[in-house]
């Protein structure tokens, strides 16, 4: 119950709905029992004793009481549902806010699919229990007590005889439940596998086709498909075995009732009406008992769901603002690292090892080095996406942790290697960081990023809708929109993380030319593999294994005979060869 | 917040949620769908139906036995022996019912699952052989949804729907017959509520269904946004848009909540209304039934039978409504499924297609024209003569026809005019499998399947021994980094190969291609982000891979172009120039211009 206690804040404030639901549930259940009683009175008193004058009262009384039941049912069901829905509304709101504030580190280890399944299936599991589970349990207990009470009132021995099969039914329910859930899990797992199988096949269809592996893929699919069918049929076999059995055990009650009850009637110790009423009452308790397993399972599942939701809600927000954090106004763009070391997790090797540098306002810095050498980590420390393990990062002479996160990040524009675009118009994507930007500002940003021309060629220009992950644009076009998005923010510090890798050389050249204009008055960090992209930087940092091994201008570094020179030689070999042949 | 700002927040993201969940009834489509039942029409289907008939009959007979025999005869006549006999008969019927139910559930599920299995297999196999163009036009997600979800939504229809339909119609008819036989006037009186029941089951249910659909649409919008916001979380945080996103989400969340509340409200009226009509029916039964008994035209046991049967009335009517629902939803799903099944592959294999033996790798294009659609020619009068073992490069801007040529060598498309010959055989005459199995395309964006590294290298040639596999990896220089992985060749990589870098993935794809040992390699060398040192390794691996094979390279890197035996320069589907690097540089045509412009770019950067 610990889970439900911890999640109490989401549903308990709405207890009004729950209590209403339960009260009317009580009314509803009591009235349910009325039908067999009226049947009994009709048979025994009206027909048996010929008191036909009672009929209108019975008929209208019955309709009246059923009308009350109808209203009670409505109120109970509606409020029960509402109780769950409102709780889920609050819960989603909180989860969303939480996810927005979780640090990069959290997302490094989390899979989107996993979080999504928590946000959908687990939220739903939790709601289902709040809406139906609680109420169902209470209803079941009520129904059992009241029904048994009425039956005992009519005839104690008959009640006992009728109830003889109930323990067996309970055992069957229990056993069924124990078997069917693992079977269901098997079905779900198999379906998941089949799903992954198909998804992978479609995502990798180019590879499949290029190696003509279609037949092999079909075989693989067939075996998953077969497995799913088998798992499903295994589950349905459990159903086929237990469900008729449970029904049969319920029917045994009926047979016992008829046999013994009929015998009692023949011997005049029971009336025909009472027997009929008994028959109806038995029907009321058998179904809920068969459902009991389902409800109990629902409870344990929603508990597990609650646990998974709590894992998100209780995830640590490692990066928080100081209580006295100050607003950064327009930054000057002075960036300083003092003996900074970074480990992503405790067991990881150092991503950055004791780095120190100072960049003056308005300078352009190039960062070069192999994948994983620490270039990106350096830029992510400036915006506090991660916290340094040791040392300090300063902007405009103050530690970055002194500023409010929002004002700090507003001053830094990022263009990441993988240019993620949102499902929205091109216009909205460019204005993403500054939704209030005017159309002129948006167009000007697009022009600077060399994106204006191809945007204008689109059917709806800036109002063109981009699909999921920018579907419909080439890699280079996406990158240029991502660059425009950063420019539109008008940041003091601009970070281009391998931002032009997907565009061809001519476009890259054009972007570079335009960026020169953009970089004026901003501190810029360019991460790139091509020397041509960062050659003109004021200073170039060469990264190796988390350290800056060399720094200087292009000309200085070429003279140094280090890693930079080596990269330069490889990249410019072609050109030299060309000058040897073509440029004569 | 100003109304304009509010509007901006609401329009922040747009998700296409215009999916239709149900479609109008369509008999042709239904017939096509039901044809999947045909393989089972000899045994499984009739057997299931027999079981359904048995259980339905028993359910009808028992109330009659209890009311008209147990109560009227045995109890009213105080006949203890008859009572025990009847109870024995009823017990016997229940046992039969039990057995029939076991087989009914079993067989109905086998039937349903077999149909679903067949349908899914048919769809997947069909899609698998469709052309690249089919996949280019659609997102992976939309194809996945059809193969998985749309087919699943037919599951219920085939497992329970069809047979329940039968059972319910029989049940209703049975109840009618029995009621009218016992007492026509009472039956008529009680059936006054029937129109009301039908009305609730159709009209109200339709309203409820619609509002649940709205809920689903809103939920799918909410989920689309959640999914996207998770994937774009780094961007959101970089641009500090958490607050704005939260405001947007609040709107979506609220929409969902409101639609849900509305649906719940409508839904909650359903049961009370049904019970009310039942109550009216029961009241009529009590009143009129008692009057009839008073008049002596009805026995008390018949009255009880009536009461039970009326109680059984609602269930089939309600379920008929449900099956109708399933059918409507099934219509939408099956329409989408059939849309895919009706897609034809771009190229068809001849019945008497020749199996190519080991090819040499001579490729000849003879006056090849090609248009993807309409008049715009992607290729116009292309003549190429590639000799076995040569490396040729295709150069030109995006849209010049480079990729089209590559796709035609593997016969993903047939030329609209002219012919393509492989070792002298027209491609249209040979079997696709024997052709494609000898050609490998190495893509820059290599897809890594989930499984071990070993499985991935073996992908093109599953029978390769570990020895062969390691040799291939060594040959392309992938052995080194694979050995360093925690479990070496048995390391599990996830989809898209998260733990591998771009360069490493590329090397694996080289090893994969080398192991498949194709005669022809097509290399699509798009620009991508690889650090320079890795690029050198890849270049070296490439030389190993291409050795002794015919290679067609769609090239960007000067180094690969320069070493090619021949370079074809393309422009808007026309072949403009051909020759080796030196010849083309001397020719001072387009190629020389291209090379110079690249060079100038680099020069300018330097300056």
Task: Report if residue B315 sits inside a domain.
Answer: no
For the beta sheet containing A390-395, the strands, ordered from the edge strand earlier in sequence to the opposite edge, are A352-359, A335-342, A390-395, A398-399
Q: Which of residues 521-560 of A touch B (CB under 8 A)?
A: 529, 532-533, 535-536
Task: Report if residue B564 sits inside a domain.
Answer: no
Give the closest-approach CA distance of B418 to chain A in angstroms. Answer: 24
Rounded Cα distance, A560 and A576, in Å: 20
Give the number of C-alpha atoms closer than 13 A to the C-alpha of residue A11, restricted to the C-beta side: 26
Contacts of A183 in chain B (CB under 8 A): none
B207 and B264, same structural domain?
A: yes
Contact partners, residue B360, CB within 8 Å, separation at least 6 = B388, B423, B519
A77 with B103: Cβ contact below 8 A:
no
**Checking phi first, is residue B568 left (phi over 0); if not, alpha (psi -120 to 50) or beta?**
beta
Q: Which of A481, A448, A475, A487 is nearest to A462 (CA)?
A: A481
Contact partners, residue A404, CB within 8 Å, separation at least 6 = A321, A325, A326, A327, A328
Task: Report if residue A523 sits inside a domain.
Answer: yes
B70 and B145, same structural domain?
A: yes
DSSP bridge pairs for A540: A366, A552
Best A202, A312, A495 residue to mutate vs chain B (most B CBs within 10 Å): A202
A424 and A536, same structural domain?
A: yes
Digit-coded pLDDT (tens) for A132-179: 888 888 888 888 888 889 899 988 999 999 889 889 988 998 898 888
Rounded Cα distance, A541 and A378, in Å: 11
A532 with B602: Cβ contact below 8 A:
yes
A428 and A309, same structural domain?
A: no
Give the closest-approach CA distance of B250 to chain A in angstroms. Answer: 7
Q: Which of A343, A362, A364 is nearest to A352 (CA)?
A: A343
- Contact (CB, 8 A) for A24 and A69: no
Task: Report if residue A231 sits inside a domain.
Answer: no
Rounded Cα distance, B203 and B338, in Å: 30
A210 with B601: Cβ contact below 8 A:
no
- Nearest chain A Cα to B517, which residue? A211
Best B97, B155, B238, B442 residue to mutate vs chain A (most A CBs within 10 Å): B238
pLDDT at A366 over 70: yes
Q: What is the mean pLDDT of residues B189-196?
A: 86
A85 with B261: Cβ contact below 8 A:
yes
Q: Dihedral of CA A313/A317/A322/A328: which sign? A: negative
CB-nearest partner of B13 from A424, A536, A575: A424
Question: What is the percent of chain A where pLDDT is above 70?
Answer: 96
Rounded Cα distance, A309 and A119, in Å: 8
Higher pLDDT, B141 or B110: B110
Digit-coded pLDDT (tens) for B549-585: 999 988 766 667 788 899 999 888 899 999 988 888 8
Confidence tier at B257 by pLDDT (50, 70, 90): very high
A272 with B71: Cβ contact below 8 A:
yes
Contacts of B91 in chain A (CB under 8 A): 252, 255
Query: What CATH number is given to the structural domain containing A442?
Result: 3.40.50.300
This model's pTM is above 0.90? no
Contacts of B531 in chain A (CB under 8 A): 369-371, 529
Q: How many CB pairs under 8 A join A and B?
A: 430
Give the closest-approach CA distance of A81 to chain B in angstroms. Answer: 7
Paired sense of beta strands B379-386 and B550-554, if any: unpaired
- Nearest chain B Cα to A276, which residue? B304
Confidence tier at A576 by pLDDT (50, 70, 90): low
The residue count of chain B comes to 607
Confidence tier at A225 by pLDDT (50, 70, 90): very high
Task: Report if residue B513 sits inside a domain.
Answer: no
Q: Which of residues 118-177 of A touch B (CB under 8 A)?
A: 119-120
Rounded Cα distance, A238 and A221, in Å: 26
Higher pLDDT, B143 or A85: A85
Give the closest-approach CA distance of B29 to chain A in angstroms. Answer: 24
Digit-coded pLDDT (tens) for A330-342: 889 899 999 999 9
Contacts of B582 in chain A (CB under 8 A): 581
Q: State chain A's maximal CA–CA distance in angstroms.
A: 125
B197 and B155, same structural domain?
A: no
For residue A256, what are its two tokens? 């016992």
A310 and A379, same structural domain?
A: no
Q: What is the mean pLDDT of residues B306-312?
A: 83
B237 and B164, same structural domain?
A: no
Digit-coded pLDDT (tens) for B422-453: 999 999 999 888 888 888 888 766 777 878 88
B128 and B236, same structural domain?
A: no
A423 and A306, same structural domain?
A: no
Helix axes B3-10, B242-295, angle to 10 degrees: 80
Task: Report if residue A47 sits inside a domain.
Answer: yes
pLDDT at B601 over 60: no
Rounded Cα distance, B358 and B355, in Å: 10
Q: Which of A391, A153, A505 is nearest to B598 (CA)?
A: A505
Task: Report if residue B453 sits inside a domain.
Answer: no
Rg, C-alpha atoms of chain B: 36
Digit-coded pLDDT (tens) for B447-491: 778 788 888 888 878 888 889 889 888 888 888 888 888 888 998
Query: What CATH number is given to the structural domain containing B173?
Result: 1.20.1560.10
pLDDT at B606 over 50: no
Paired sense of beta strands A412-415 and A364-369, if any: unpaired
Q: What is the mean pLDDT of residues A362-379?
A: 89
Predicted confidence at residue A583, as pLDDT, reads 41
| A438 CB burial (10 A radius; 0-12, 13-18, 19+) | exposed
B79 lies in which domain range?
Answer: 28-182+329-345
- Contact (CB, 8 A) for B405 and B382: yes
CB-nearest partner of A244 from B102, B116, B135: B102
**Checking phi first, is residue A43 left (phi over 0); if not, alpha (psi -120 to 50) or beta?**
alpha
Task: Report if residue B197 sits inside a domain.
Answer: yes
Predicted confidence at residue B153, as pLDDT, reads 84
Task: Report if residue A445 sits inside a domain.
Answer: yes
Task: Report if residue B579 sits inside a domain.
Answer: no
Give the closest-approach CA distance of A6 to chain B in angstroms. Answer: 23
Quickly tell me which residue has 């609730």 as its tokens.
B200
Distances (CA, A) of B543 to A14, B391, B511, B564: 70, 11, 12, 11
Distances (CA, A) of A572 to A249, A577, B451: 86, 9, 39
**A255 Cβ under 8 Å from any chain B Cβ:** yes
Contacts of B563 in chain A (CB under 8 A): none
Contacts 24+ apart (CB under 8 A), A568-577: A568/A531, A570/B532, A570/B533, A570/B535, A570/B536, A571/A530, A571/A531, A571/A532, A571/B532, A572/A531, A572/B602, A573/B559, A574/B557, A574/B558, A574/B559, A574/B562, A575/B558, A575/B599, A575/B602, A577/B558, A577/B562
A433 and A499, same structural domain?
A: yes
A582 with B556: Cβ contact below 8 A:
no
Number of domains in chain A: 2
Q: How far is CA A281 from the centre of its chain?
A: 45
Task: Report if residue A451 sits inside a domain.
Answer: yes
Helix axes A505-519, A475-488, angle to 10 degrees: 0
Number of domains in chain B: 2
Phi, psi of A392 (to 5 degrees): -140, 150
For residue B51, what are its two tokens? 């079981």
Task: Report if residue B120 sits inside a domain.
Answer: yes
A433 with B239: Cβ contact below 8 A:
yes
Question: What is the percent of chain B where pLDDT is above 70?
Answer: 93
A497 and A435, same structural domain?
A: yes
Contacts of B237 in chain A (CB under 8 A): 100, 104, 385, 409
Distances (CA, A) of B86 to A273, A321, B68, B441: 19, 81, 11, 78
B128 with A201: Cβ contact below 8 A:
yes
Quickly tell me which residue has 């309203």 as its tokens.
B207
Task: Report if residue A99 sits inside a domain.
Answer: yes
B172 and B240, same structural domain?
A: no
DSSP bridge pairs for B443: B524
Confidence tier at B256 by pLDDT (50, 70, 90): very high
Rounded Cα distance, A516 and A217, in Å: 50
Q: How many C-beta atoms surround the C-beta of residue B334 within 10 A? A: 25
Q: What is the mean pLDDT of residues B363-384?
A: 86
A387 and A312, same structural domain?
A: no
Task: Report if residue A261 sits inside a domain.
Answer: no
Query: What CATH number is given to the structural domain containing A128?
Result: 1.20.1560.10
A416 and A308, same structural domain?
A: no
B86 and B50, same structural domain?
A: yes
Paired sense of beta strands B425-426 and B391-395, if any: unpaired
Predicted confidence at residue B600, as pLDDT, reads 60
CB-nearest partner of B450 from A200, A207, A215: A200
pLDDT at A469 over 60: no
Give the number of C-alpha atoms closer than 13 A to the C-alpha of residue A114, restricted to the C-beta side: 10
Predicted confidence at residue B2, as pLDDT, reads 65
Rounded Cα distance, A71 and A31, in Å: 12
Predicted confidence at residue B264, as pLDDT, reads 92
Contacts 24+ apart (CB under 8 A), A171-175: A172/A242, A172/A245, A172/A246, A172/A249, A173/A246, A173/A289, A173/A290, A173/A292, A173/A293, A174/A293, A175/A242
A74 with B269: Cβ contact below 8 A:
yes
Contacts of A383 in chain B (CB under 8 A): 238
Rounded Cα distance, A180 and A238, in Å: 6
**A318 Cβ under 8 Å from any chain B Cβ:** no
B280 and B136, same structural domain?
A: no
Phi, psi of A254 (to 5 degrees): -65, -45
Rounded Cα distance, A136 and A84, in Å: 13
A376 and A312, same structural domain?
A: no
pLDDT at B526 over 70: no
Phi, psi of A422 (to 5 degrees): -95, 160
A500 lies in which domain range?
Answer: 361-393+404-551
Element (H, E) at A397: none
DSSP bridge pairs for B430: B354
Rounded Cα distance, B39 and A503, in Å: 55
B174 and B194, same structural domain?
A: no
- Contact (CB, 8 A) for A44 and A272: yes
B158 and B41, same structural domain?
A: yes
pLDDT at A582 over 60: no
A388 and A310, same structural domain?
A: no
DSSP bridge pairs for A415: A496
Q: What is the mean pLDDT of residues B193-198?
A: 84
B171 and B209, same structural domain?
A: no
Least confident among A396-405, B519-528, B541-550: B519-528
Task: Report if residue B281 sits inside a domain.
Answer: yes
Give the number of C-alpha atoms closer than 13 A to the C-alpha of residue A89, restricted to the C-beta side: 20
pLDDT at A578 over 70: no
Q: Which of A281, A351, A362, A415 is nearest to A539 (CA)?
A: A362
Give the closest-approach CA distance of B52 to chain A in angstroms. Answer: 13
Task: Report if residue A143 sits inside a domain.
Answer: yes
Best B158, B204, B212, B233 residue to mutate vs chain A (most A CBs within 10 Å): B233
B158 and B86, same structural domain?
A: yes
Q: How many C-beta atoms surround the C-beta of residue B140 within 10 A? A: 17
Rg, C-alpha atoms of chain A: 36
Predicted confidence at residue B605, as pLDDT, reads 47
């Amino acid at each position: 119950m610990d889970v439900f206690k911890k999640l109490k804040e989401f549903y308990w404030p709405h207890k009004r709905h729950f209590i209403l639901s339960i009260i009317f549930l009580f009314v509803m259940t009591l009235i349910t029992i009325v039908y067999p009683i009226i049947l009994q009175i009709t048979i025994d008193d009206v027909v048996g004793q010929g008191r036909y004058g009672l009929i209108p009262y019975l008929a209208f009384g019955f309709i009246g009481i059923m009308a009350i039941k109808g209203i009670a049912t409505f109120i109970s069901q509606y409020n029960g549902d509402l109780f769950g829905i409102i709780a889920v509304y609050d819960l989603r709101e909180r989860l969303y806010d939480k996810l927005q504030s979780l640090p990069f580190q959290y997302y490094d280890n989390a899979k989107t699919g996993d979080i999504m399944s928590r946000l959908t299936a687990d939220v739903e599991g939790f709601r289902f229990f709040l809406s139906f589970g609680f109420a169902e349990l209470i209803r079941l207990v009520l129904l059992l007590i009241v029904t048994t009470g009425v039956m005992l009132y009519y005839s104690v021995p008959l009640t006992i005889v009728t109830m003889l099969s109930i323990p067996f039914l309970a055992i069957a329910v229990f056993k069924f439940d124990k078997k069917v859930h693992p079977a269901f899990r098997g079905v779900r797992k198999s379906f998941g596998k089949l799903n992954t199988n198909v998804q992978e096949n479609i995502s990798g269809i180019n590879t499949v086709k290029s190696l003509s592996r279609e037949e092999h893929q079909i075989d693989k699919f067939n075996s998953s498909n077969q497995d799913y069918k088998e798992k499903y049929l295994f589950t349905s076999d459990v159903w086929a075995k237990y469900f008729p059995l449970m029904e049969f055990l319920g029917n045994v009650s009926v047979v016992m009732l008829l046999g013994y009850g009929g015998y009692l009637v023949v011997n005049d110790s029971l009336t025909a009406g009472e027997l009929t009423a008994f028959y109806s009452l038995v029907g009321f308790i058998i179904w809920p008992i068969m459902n009991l397993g389902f409800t109990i399972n629902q409870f344990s599942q929603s508990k597990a769901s609650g646990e998974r939701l709590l894992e998100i809600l209780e995830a640590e927000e490692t990066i928080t603002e100081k209580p006295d954090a100050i607003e950064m106004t327009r930054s000057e763009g002075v960036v300083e690292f003092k003996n900074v070391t970074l480990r992503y997790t405790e067991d990881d090797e150092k991503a950055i090892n004791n780095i120190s540098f100072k960049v003056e306002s308005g300078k352009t810095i190039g960062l070069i080095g192999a994948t994983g050498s620490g270039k990106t980590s350096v830029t992510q420390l400036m915006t506090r996406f991660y916290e340094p393990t040791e040392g300090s990062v300063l902007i405009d002479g103050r530690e970055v942790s002194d500023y409010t996160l929002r004002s700090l990040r507003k001053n830094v524009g990022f263009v990441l290697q993988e240019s993620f675009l949102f499902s929205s118009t091109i216009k909205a994507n460019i204005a993403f960081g500054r939704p209030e930007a005017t159309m002129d500002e948006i167009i000007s940003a697009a022009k600077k990023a060399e994106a204006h021309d191809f945007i204008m060629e689109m059917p709806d220009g800036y109002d063109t809708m981009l699909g999921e992950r920018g579907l419909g644009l080439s890699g280079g076009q996406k990158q240029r929109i991502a660059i425009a998005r950063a420019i539109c923010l008008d940041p003091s510090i601009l970070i281009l993380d391998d931002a032009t890798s997907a565009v061809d050389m001519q476009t890259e050249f054009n972007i570079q030319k335009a960026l020169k204009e953009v970089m004026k008055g901003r501190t810029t960090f360019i991460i790139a593999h091509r020397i041509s992209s960062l050659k003109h930087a004021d200073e170039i940092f060469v990264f190796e294994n988390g350290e800056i091994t060399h720094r200087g201008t292009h000309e200085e570094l070429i003279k140094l005979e280090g890693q930079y020179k080596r990269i330069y030689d490889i990249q410019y070999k072609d050109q030299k060869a060309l000058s040897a042949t073509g440029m004569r | 917040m100003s109304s304009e700002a509010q509007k901006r927040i609401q329009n922040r993201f747009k998700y296409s949620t215009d999916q239709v969940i149900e479609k109008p009834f369509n008999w042709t489509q239904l017939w096509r769908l039901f044809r999947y039942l045909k393989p089972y029409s000899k045994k499984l289907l009739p057997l299931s139906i027999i079981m359904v008939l048995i259980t339905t009959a028993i359910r009808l007979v028992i109330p009659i036995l209890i009311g008209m025999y147990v109560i009227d005869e045995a109890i009213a006549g105080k006949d203890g022996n008859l009572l025990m006999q009847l109870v024995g008969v009823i017990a016997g019927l229940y046992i039969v019912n039990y057995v029939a139910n076991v087989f009914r559930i079993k067989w109905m599920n086998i039937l349903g699952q077999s149909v679903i299995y067949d349908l899914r297999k048919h769809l997947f196999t069909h899609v698998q052989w469709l052309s690249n163009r089919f996949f280019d036009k659609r997102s992976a997600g939309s194809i996945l949804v059809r193969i998985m979800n749309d087919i699943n939504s037919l599951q219920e229809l085939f497992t329970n729907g069809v047979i329940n339909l039968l059972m319910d119609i029989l049940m209703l008819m049975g109840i009618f017959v029995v009621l009218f036989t016992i007492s026509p006037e009472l039956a008529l009186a009680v059936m006054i509520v029937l129109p009301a029941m039908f009305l609730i089951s159709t009209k109200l249910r339709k309203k409820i269904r619609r509002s649940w659909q709205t809920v689903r649409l809103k939920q799918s919008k909410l989920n689309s946004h959640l999914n996207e916001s998770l994937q774009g979380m780094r961007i959101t945080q970089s641009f500090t848009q958490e607050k704005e996103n939260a405001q947007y989400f609040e709107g979506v969340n609220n929409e969902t909540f409101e639609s849900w509340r509305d649906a719940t409200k409508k839904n909650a009226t359903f049961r009370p209304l049904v019970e009310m009509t039942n109550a009216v029916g029961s009241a009529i039964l009590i009143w009129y039934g008692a009057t009839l008994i008073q008049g002596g035209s009805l026995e008390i046991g018949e009255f009880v039978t009536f009461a039970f049967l009326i109680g059984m009335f609602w269930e089939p009517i309600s379920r008929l409504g449900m099956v109708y629902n399933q059918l409507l939803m099934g219509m939408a799903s099956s329409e989408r499924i059939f849309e895919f099944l009706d897609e034809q592959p771009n190229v068809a294999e001849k019945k008497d297609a020749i199996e190519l033996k080991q090819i040499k790798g001579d490729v000849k294009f003879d006056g090849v024209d090609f248009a993807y659609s309409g008049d715009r020619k992607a290729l116009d009068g292309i003549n190429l003569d590639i000799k076995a073992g040569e490396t040729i490069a295709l150069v030109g801007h995006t849209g010049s026809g480079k990729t089209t040529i590559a796709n035609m060598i593997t016969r993903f498309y047939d030329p609209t005019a002219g012919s393509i010959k492989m070792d002298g055989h027209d491609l249209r005459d040979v079997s696709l499998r024997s052709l494609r199995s000898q050609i490998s395309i190495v893509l820059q964006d290599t897809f890594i399947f989930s499984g071990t590294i070993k499985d991935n290298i073996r992908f093109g040639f599953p029978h390769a021994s570990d020895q062969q596999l390691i040799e291939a990896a060594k040959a392309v220089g992938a052995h080194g980094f694979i050995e360093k992985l925690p479990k070496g060749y048995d390391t599990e990589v996830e989809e898209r190969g998260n733990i591998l870098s771009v360069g490493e993935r590329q090397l694996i794809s080289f090893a994969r291609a080398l192991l498949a040992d194709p005669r022809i390699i097509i290399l699509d060398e798009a620009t991508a982000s690889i650090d320079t040192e890795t690029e050198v390794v890849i270049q070296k691996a490439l030389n190993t891979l291409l050795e002794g094979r015919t290679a067609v390279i769609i090239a960007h890197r000067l180094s690969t172009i320069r070493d090619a035996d021949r370079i074809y320069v393309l422009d808007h589907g026309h072949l403009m120039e051909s020759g080796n690097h030196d010849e083309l540089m001397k020719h001072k045509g387009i190629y020389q211009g291209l090379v110079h412009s690249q060079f100038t770019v680099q020069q300018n950067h330097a300056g």
